[in-house]
Amino acid sequence: MSLWGWFRERLGLGEKASAEGGASELQSAAAPSSVTPAEPGTPKKSRKAKKPKPSKEERSRKRKARREAEAKAEAKANKKRKKRKGKGDPRLSGEEAPVGQDRTKRTGVQTGPLVAPVLAPPVFGEPEPEPPSEAATPSEPGPPESPAPLPEPAALEPQPVGDAEASSTPEERPARPPRRSDTLAWVVVPKLEALLASVDTLLADGEATRDALVAARKAFGRDWAGLRPVPREERQRLEAARDARMEALSARIDALPDPRAEEEAANVAVRTEIVVAAEALASEPDLDAALGKARTLQDIWRGAARVPREHHAVLQARWRAAMDAVYARRDAQRAERLEVQQGLVKRALLLAKSTDPIRAAEAMKGLQAQWKAAGHAGRSEAADEAWKAFRAAADTVFERRRTAKEAQEQENLASKEGLIAEVHALVGTEVSDVDEAVRRFHQRWRRIGHVPRADSDRVWASFRAACDRLTEPPDVDPAALGDGDGGLAFSPFAAALESVDQDAS
Q: Evaluate whether 387 touches 341 at the Cβ level (below 8 Å).
A: yes
Q: Is the pLDDT of residue 120 over 60?
A: no
Give the residue among 380, 367, 277, 374 at the shortest CA–CA distance from 333. Answer: 374
Alpha helix stretches (DSSP H) within 151-286: 164-167, 188-204, 210-226, 232-255, 260-280
Q: Is the pLDDT of residue 106 over 90?
A: no
- Residue 242 has a pLDDT of 93
Q: What is the mean pLDDT of residues 147-166?
A: 44
Predicted confidence band of residue 324 (pLDDT cuts 50, 70, 90): very high
SS3 content of the chain, % helix, strand, coil (to 5): 65, 0, 35
Give SS3 for 488: strand
The pLDDT tens digits for 209-264 are 888 999 999 999 999 998 888 888 888 999 999 999 999 999 999 888 887 787 88
Q: What percent of the chain clears pLDDT 70, i.e. is strictly above it?
A: 64
Mean pLDDT of 493-499: 46
Tell whether the model's pLDDT for residue 36 goes beyond 80.
no
Q: Which residues pair with 482 in a beta bridge?
A: 488
Average pLDDT over every residue of 362-373: 91
pLDDT value at position 161? Answer: 42
Is the pLDDT at 110 greater than 70, yes or no?
Answer: no
Q: How far apart, in whole angstroms, are the C-alpha atoms of residue 503 and residue 492?
A: 17
Which pLDDT score is estimated for 251?
92
**Crossing angle between the packed helical segments 381-426 and 357-374, to the nearest 10 degrees:** 140
Residues 6+ apart with CB under 8 A from 459: 413, 416, 417, 420, 451
**In the chain, where the domains are located:** 184-257, 261-334
Question: Mind listing the pLDDT tens digit for each residue in 388-430?
Answer: 999 999 999 999 888 888 888 888 888 888 888 888 888 877 7
- pLDDT over 60 at 19, yes or no: no
When pLDDT is cut at 50, 70 and 90, the band that residue 45 belongs to is low
For CA atoms 216, 222, 225, 227, give the dihedral sign.
negative
Q: How confident is the model at residue 49 (pLDDT cuts 50, 70, 90)?
A: low
Whole-structure pTM value = 0.38
Higher model confidence: residue 282 or residue 136?
Answer: 282
pLDDT of residue 96: 47
| pLDDT of amino acid 44 | 53
Higher pLDDT, 15 or 73: 73
Is the pLDDT reported for residue 483 higher than 50? no
Give the whole-number percent of the chain exceeding pLDDT 90: 23
Residues 97, 84: Cα–Cα separation, whole Å: 16
DSSP calls for 338-394: HHHHHHHHHHHHHHHT-S-HHHHHHHHHHHHHHHHHH----S-HHHHHHHHHHHHHH
- Reply yes or no on whether the pLDDT at 156 is more than 60: no
Q: Give the whole-angstrom CA distance, residue 377 versus residue 347.
A: 18
pLDDT higher than 80, residue 60: yes
Residue-wise pLDDT for 436-471, tens only, equals 888 888 888 888 888 888 888 988 998 888 888 877
Sorting pLDDT into bands at 50, 70 and 90, what band is 121?
very low
